[in-house]
Amino acid sequence: MTSRLNPYISFPGGTARAAMEFYRDVFGGELRISTFGDFGAPDPSAADKVMHAMLEAPNGFTLMGADVPPGMPHVSGTSISVSLSGDDADDLRGYWEKLSGGGTVTMPLEKQAWGDEFGMCKDRFGVDWMVNITSPQP
């Protein structure tokens, strides 16, 4: 079995389902969601909240997420961003448009000093994204 690194994002206030459905719209693929209720959560207020969600996109991306359980604090992270990079400019620009739509662009996607196109945004769920489109090598 191959090892892989998957971002796992915690969402506040029952927003995980909407966020993961949004990411499915951005990247495509199969989204599987399990709720706390699916596993017999004793707290009825948590029954419909997402205990675990996994999105597996056709291009090999995997993104996981969950709602923060009741009683646990959610501290929005400022020390982590999800990075998308590669040389498929059309796909990456499409992801950029969808992720930045309704969010905040912190650095426009444009040509940088190192030769690649690069941009940063915070999506409408507060998740920071970086997109780097590798420039063709001569």
**pLDDT at position 92:** 95
Who contacts 81 (Cβ-Cβ below 8 Å, separation ≥6)? 120, 128, 129, 130
Predicted model pTM = 0.81
Q: Interior CA angle at 108 toward 106 and 110, to 5°?
A: 150
CATH of the domain at 96: 3.30.720.110
- Domain match, 60 and 95 both: no
Q: Which residues span the domain enclosing 42?
A: 8-67
Longest Cα pair distance anywhere in the chain, in angstroms?
Answer: 61
- Domain match, 14 and 40 both: yes
- The last residue of one of the domains, among 67, 91, 112, is 67
**pLDDT at position 81:** 83
- Domain match, 60 and 13 both: yes
Express each pLDDT in 70-118 by its tens digit.
777 777 765 678 989 999 999 999 999 999 999 999 999 999 988 999 9
| Domain presence at residue 35 | yes
pLDDT of 3 higher than 80: no
Count of domains observed in the chain: 2
Mean pLDDT of 128-136: 91
Express each pLDDT in 19-71 by its tens digit.
999 999 999 999 999 998 888 877 888 889 998 999 999 999 999 999 987 77
- Element holding 26 (H helix, E strand): helix 16-27
Express each pLDDT in 5-15 by its tens digit.
789 898 988 99
- The last residue of one of the domains, among 67, 90, 117, is 67
pLDDT of 1 higher than 60: no
| Domain presence at residue 92 | yes
Q: Interior CA angle at 124 toward 122 and 125, to 5°?
A: 90
Report CA-CA distances (Å) from 39 to 34, 42, 86, 99, 135: 8, 9, 38, 31, 47
